[in-house]
Amino acid sequence: MMYESFKLFAGVLSNRTRFDIVMLLMKKEMSVLELCSESAYEQSRVSHNLKCLLNCGFVDVEQHGRRHVYSLNHEMKDLISEIENHIQLYEARLRKCDILREET
Amino acid sequence: MMYESFKLFAGVLSNRTRFDIVMLLMKKEMSVLELCSESAYEQSRVSHNLKCLLNCGFVDVEQHGRRHVYSLNHEMKDLISEIENHIQLYEARLRKCDILREET
DNA sequence: ATATCATATGACGCATTGGTCATTTTTAAT
DNA sequence: ATTAAAAATGACCAATGCGTCATATGATAT
């Protein structure tokens, strides 16, 4: 079981589009179009990936008129910011292994 | 940059074969054949994935005669056991969302 | 030197994933 | 009721990832 949930978690976030969306939603809740303009990804792309995030419990939606406002699930928010810390550690370790290129 | 390292980390572990190998190496260091028999994966499969794990800094090798003994990078070991804790949290959350099926 | 054991590598094929385009659904405004 | 705005969906295609099979490399023992 452990693995299924890890795979789900990792799979969701190891995609640039979804990762970016999640990071945007870390700041504030947004509608689909707002996410589009902030991310510069096209609408259907954002929608498809929001659906995925919704299915996996990463985000919640609330509908106001014709805007669907997406927010990061507040429990996920905590979890993700903790993961962020770990990743920074991991980054440092990867650099030691010369896996990651230095930024230009 | 953050994303690249996350993707690397997540990508490596969101594969059943590698995940299993890592979990086996959490217990003790092993040769390729030992990993094969413990995991029931065939040799080339294990080798390919060990190479990946090696490239990403997850594991180290030491050669004794014709045995190549793989061990979990000790820094990674800490990191992974911390991640394990988070995943348990995440699992609980996913269950609340009815994403994960109950075990049979 | 040859045979055998342990591991690594390469090439190929299948399956999965993800993005795009076009279209549809839903809601609000006039 | 029609139009326009906002979001969702479906189908298709391209790219990627992964496992398998066959083969190669390296190391030890005889």
- List, run by run, the mean pLDDT of 10-residue segments along chain B (104 residues): 82 92 96 98 97 92 97 86 78 66 41
- H/E element, B14: none
In a domain, A13, yes or no: yes
CA of A45: nucleotide with nearest C1': C19
In a domain, A35, yes or no: yes
In a domain, B8, yes or no: yes
Q: What is the span of the domain harbouring residue A48?
A: 2-73
- Residue with the larger pLDDT of the pair A78 and A1: A78
DSSP per-residue string spanning A68-100: EEEEE-HHHHHHHHHHHHHHHHHHHHHHHTT-S
Residues of chain A contacting residue B72, judged by C-beta atoms under 8 Å apart: none
- Output the six-digit token pair for A27: 């700041």
Q: Which residue, chain included where needed, has tokens 């988070």?
A: B86
Output the domain CATH number for residue B23: 1.10.10.10
In a domain, B104, yes or no: no
Q: What is the pLDDT of residues A10-67, one digit of tens each?
A: 888 889 999 999 999 999 999 999 999 999 999 999 999 999 999 988 999 999 999 9
Query: Domain total for chain A?
Result: 1
pLDDT of A6 above 80: yes
Q: Which residue, chain included where needed, has tokens 């970016």?
A: A20
Q: Give me the pLDDT at residue B7, please.
A: 87
Identify protein residues whose C-beta is within 7 angstroms of any atom in strand C.
Answer: A 11, 14-17, 41-42, 44-45, 48-49, 52, 63, 65-66; B 31-33, 43-44, 47-48, 50-51, 61, 66-69
First to last CA, chain B: 41
Which residue in A15, A79, A26 sits closest to A51, CA to CA?
A15
